[in-house]
Amino acid sequence: MNACRAKRMSSKTSGWLLLGLLASTGAQAENRAEDRADRPRLQEITDAELAAMRGRYTLAGNAVAWFGVSLISQWHSADGQQLNAGLQLNFDLRSGRPRFSYQPTISIGYDDSSSVALNGGSVRHIDSAGLANVDGFVQAVQLAGDGNRVSNQALLIVRDGNPGEAGAEQGPLALDQQAGPASVQAYVDGQRAGVLLQLAGQGQVRQWLGNGQIGQAVALGTDGSWVSNQLRMEVVRTPMSNGVSLTQNVAQALASSRGLGPIGGP
């Protein structure tokens, strides 16, 4: 799909931008053709140019003050295993120099009352390798079993106001725990961030950011499991002061972003 680029834009327009064409008065008849050529006009841009612009700008004099991502994964298996992992990522942009913070949480529990025999000794295999070939936002559910209840939920919130105090406290770059066949991990490294739940012989549950993807995936080779993946993204905008134009704010944001390192970097 092609969009339009113009030299003059109305800040109140959110779709196709309307151009104000300058009227030429008192011009000589022989100069009218040249006047028309000099007027602003609609121009098509390519899909590649449009993709490069996506998500970089805000409209109507608003500036992004804070951006946060929350990942929460839970898995309750039919044999009583209870796996939980969470990761909160915060990007505070209010000071003019972006500040990154994160907080991972994990736990493994066991419920004797819900323990049942699984699979009857059979081994079920699921191949999720193809997900690595998908760009953008990914949601996947692969089930090789009966009676499973699974959900992948993603929520995006954009609001105006004050994000409040600084976000999550800085935690360790990664947390991992293992208990018998169960393992849980929450991690942040130079290229990726995410959570991972695994049960040997039963499958895995995960959410991740990085390498051009935001993903939620469930792969189960068992029966009677309850699984929930929840991803929440929140953008908080604050009105810019009267003395600062949108153009100036965008220019400052782009200039400061050149010095940003990778996620979790120094």
Q: Where are the domains of the chain?
A: 61-112+135-239
- Summarize pLDDT for 37-93 with one digit per residue, the tens: 555 556 777 878 777 766 655 555 567 888 899 999 999 999 999 999 999 999 898
Query: Rounded distance, CA 208 to CA 195, Å?
Result: 6
What's the pLDDT at 140? 94
Q: Tokens 């189960």 appear where?
A: 220
Q: What is the pLDDT of residues 131-186, one digit of tens each?
A: 877 888 999 999 999 999 999 999 999 888 877 665 545 667 889 999 999 999 99
What is the structure's pLDDT at 249? Answer: 57
DSSP 7: S
